[in-house]
Amino acid sequence: MQTRRTLFGIIVLLFAFLAANQSVAQKKTKVELIQANAIRSDKNLYNGARRLIGNVKFKQDSAIMECDSAHFYSDRNMFDAFGRVHLYKQNNNNVDVRADFLRHDGDLKIAHFRHNVILRDSNVTLTTDSLDYNLQTDIGYYEHNGRIVDSLTVLTSLKGYYYNKRREVYFRSNVVIDHDSGEYQMFTDTIRYGLNTKVIDFFGPTEFYNDTNYLYARYGWYNTESEQSMFKHDALFRNPSQTITCDSMLFNRLDESGAAYSNVVATDTVQNLVVKGNYVEIHKEPELLIVTDSALMIYVTDGDSLYLHADTMRMCRDTSGQYRTFSAYWHVRAYKSDLQLQADSIFFSMSDSIARFFGNPIFWVNENQITTEYMEAFVKDNQLQKFILNKAGMIVSPHDSVHFNQIKGTQMIGYLRNNDLHKVDVFKHAQTLYFPVDDDQIVGVNKGESSEMTIYLKDRKLKRLAYRAQTQSDMYPLESLSTNDMRLAGFVWYESIRPKAPADIFIWHSNEAATSTRRITMPTQPTGKPSKNAPVAPTRKSGGKARK
């Protein structure tokens, strides 16, 4: 970085040097004395200079130079000016310099201003204690602290280079920008400021501050009028609750909206969320966050965070503006040590704390596999409390690699404690197939059907069943049934596509990857609400006697 800064400084000085040499190559003109109240010869002055007193005025080409008094070295084509020094150009309002002292070299056409120097441009005002100005190229530079002020911005630096014709100013070393009376401050090493465009380009590590936000980058630009900016190379945004890092970032300070690109990491310490992706779009009003391109959301918990991936994620507030909503769509997969899922899309609203899963979702809760066409999950205190399976719901729990306990129904409600399934209510054509054991040995196959039933589990294993009305239950010897007879219709074991680690959620497997006999139809993009035809959990029917 130091090498880069040094190289930049050399280039700027080289331009100034070439411009100065170019002025030498130009046709030389004489400095003309236009007026003075008194002219005196003084042998004590160097090289026979004449002393000019009162209303002194010089002219060279289009430049007019005025002062209270001067020492004029006519044979050397130069003079020293003292007191109320004023230099301006005819027909050029952008060149107007005042100072206490001026040494002007007419051959080089370079004016050396010292003490209380003020350069007034049509756009800005520059103040410094030492300024060298090339009248031929209209380039000025200072190397001992300067300050430029326009309508809203104050810029200070150790060194500066003013290009009148290009309408640009370069600032070097200890650059500080104060915008809009302290609305924000900027600290950097090198910038270029467009006098007409009002755009600041910065080169090197740069920091922006205001009361709530902090921005950092190593390269970028900022438009002081539109309040839009671009930050590149190790870009960082931070406020009291959020941090964003990325390769580059667009930001609008007026509405605090922006977009981040490549290797984006957004952290929210209030929500305990980390969001990653290669494109993140943020809006403050209305509140909106969009993440895509390798999108990843991490819900941070002690020792067991939830990792969720989708093609696109959206976090915003609902139409009332009171509650946040979250949606993830296309190729949704998630991993937690005791919970994994795959779905086409998800919608969650804090207004009812219900997560809705579309597109034949698959859940793995510890040893249990849960499948359905559409699912609603109820969350309380950041934990899954219960779920409703609508259409083709099935829960499968393996006894071993060949024998699987199975529960199936048109509609099912599962209840969890600490992410362990402990009870399931099944409605409308409830079916079970399970393997009773005695001394850890399978003693048969039980097949049951009922219009309604409740299944109780303990230690993640089936404890008992309670059938209700129109019940049929039969026990079969294990050896009397083939493997196919030990599968309920629609059974598929999806263990091969189950995420085993956080990295697995980026590897999409269609449901068909586990079987060639069951085709899954993916839905259209969710609207955030169930359709009119979305199934609703029925009221539990009364009547019937429970059976063990």
How many CB atoms within 10 Å of residue 328?
27
Nearest one of 479, 442, 450 to 467, comparing CA atoms: 450
* Mean pLDDT (whole number) for 338-360: 93
pLDDT at 206: 93
User: Does the structure show a pLDDT above 70 at 478?
Assistant: yes
Cα separation, 217 vs 4, whole angstroms: 16
* Burial bucket for residue 284 (CB in 10 Å: 0-12, 13-18, 19+): exposed
Nearest one of 98, 95, 99 to 124, comparing CA atoms: 95
85/74: higher pLDDT: 85
pLDDT at 384: 82
pLDDT at 209: 87
**The one-letter amino acid at 65:** M
Contact 23, 5 (CB under 8 A): no
The H-or-E segment that residue 20 falls in is helix 2-25
pLDDT at 113: 98
Q: Is 297 helix (H, G, I), strand (E, B) or coil?
A: strand
User: Does the structure show a pLDDT above 60 at 240?
Assistant: yes
* Residue corresponding to tokens 């031929």: 136
**The one-letter amino acid at 543:** G
Cα separation, 383 vs 353, whole angstroms: 10
User: Does the structure show a pLDDT above 70 at 253?
Assistant: yes
Nearest one of 240, 236, 305, 318 to 273, comparing CA atoms: 305
Indicate whether this model's pTM tops 0.95.
Answer: no
pLDDT in tens, 123-148: 889 999 999 999 999 999 999 899 98
Q: Which two tokens stand for residue 353?
A: 């704390």
User: Does the structure show a pLDDT above 60 at 12?
Assistant: no
Cα separation, 38 vs 435, whole angstroms: 121
Cα separation, 110 vs 133, whole angstroms: 6
Q: Which two tokens stand for residue 174?
A: 């200890």
9/46: higher pLDDT: 46
pLDDT at 536: 33
pLDDT at 532: 37
Classify residue 12 as left (phi > 0), alpha (psi -120 to 50) or beta: alpha
Q: Mean pLDDT score of the chain, rounded to an integer?
A: 85
Q: Which two tokens stand for residue 214?
A: 């902090």
- Ranked by mean pLDDT, the top range of 81-90, 149-158, 471-480 is 81-90
- pLDDT band per the 50, 70, 90 thresholds, residue 1: very low
Distance set, CA 229 to CA 153, 219, 224, 399 (Å): 15, 11, 9, 60
Q: What is the 3-state secondary structure (H, E, C) of 487-520?
A: CCCCCCCCHHHCCCCHHHHHCCCCHHHHCCCCCC
- pLDDT band per the 50, 70, 90 thresholds, residue 515: low
How many CB atoms within 10 Å of residue 368?
20
Buried b (16+ CB within 10 A) or exposed e, 163-187: bbeebbbbbbeebebbbeeeebebe
Q: What is the dihedral angle through the alpha carbons of 290, 295, 299, 300, rounded to the nearest 10 degrees?
A: -120
> At CA 474, angle to CA 424 and CA 514, rounded to 5?
55
234/440: higher pLDDT: 234
* Residue corresponding to tokens 């380039």: 139
Q: What is the 3-state secondary structure (H, E, C) of 379-424?
A: EECCEEEEEEEEEEEEEEEECCCCCEEEEEEEEEEEEEECCEEEEE
Residue 531 main-chain phi, psi, to 5 deg:
-70, 170
**The one-letter amino acid at 513:** A
Contact 140, 20 (CB under 8 A): no
Residue 482: which residues within 8 A CB-CB, separation 6 or more? none
Strand bridging mode 472-476 / 445-458: antiparallel
The H-or-E segment that residue 4 falls in is helix 2-25
* Mean pLDDT (whole number) for 40-58: 84
120 DSSP β-pair partners: 125
Of the listed ranges 168-172, 203-207, 389-393, 502-506, the one predicted with least confidence: 389-393
Residue 31 main-chain phi, psi, to 5 deg:
-75, 125
Strand bridging mode 214-223 / 199-209: antiparallel
pLDDT in tens, 153-191: 898 999 999 999 999 999 999 999 998 777 789 999 999
pLDDT at 513: 59
User: Does the structure show a pLDDT above 60 at 386?
Assistant: yes
* Mean pLDDT (whole number) for 48-63: 93
Question: Residue ranges of the domains in the chain?
Answer: 29-144
Residue 518 main-chain phi, psi, to 5 deg:
-125, 120
pLDDT at 82: 97
Nearest one of 141, 140, 117, 121 to 196, comparing CA atoms: 121
Nearest one of 127, 137, 139, 78 to 98, comparing CA atoms: 127
pLDDT in tens, 437-465: 888 889 999 998 988 889 888 877 777 88
- Ranked by mean pLDDT, the top range of 108-112, 197-201, 240-244, 256-260 is 108-112
- pLDDT band per the 50, 70, 90 thresholds, residue 524: very low
* Residue corresponding to tokens 């004029």: 72
pLDDT at 511: 77
Q: Which CATH number fits domain 29-144: 2.60.450.10, 3.20.190.10, 3.40.50.2000, 3.40.640.10?
A: 2.60.450.10
pLDDT in tens, 294-328: 999 999 887 789 999 999 999 998 877 788 899 99
538/254: higher pLDDT: 254
Nearest one of 490, 488, 466, 472 to 540, comparing CA atoms: 466
* Mean pLDDT (whole number) for 58-78: 94
* Mean pLDDT (whole number) for 53-75: 95
Of the listed ranges 41-45, 93-97, 251-255, 409-413, the one predicted with least confidence: 41-45
User: Does the structure show a pLDDT above 80 at 14?
Assistant: no
Q: Which two tokens stand for residue 187?
A: 């600290």
- pLDDT band per the 50, 70, 90 thresholds, residue 267: very high
User: Does the structure show a pLDDT above 90 at 95?
Assistant: no
User: Does the structure show a pLDDT above 90 at 388?
Assistant: yes
Distance set, CA 279 to CA 153, 253, 276, 296 (Å): 32, 19, 9, 11
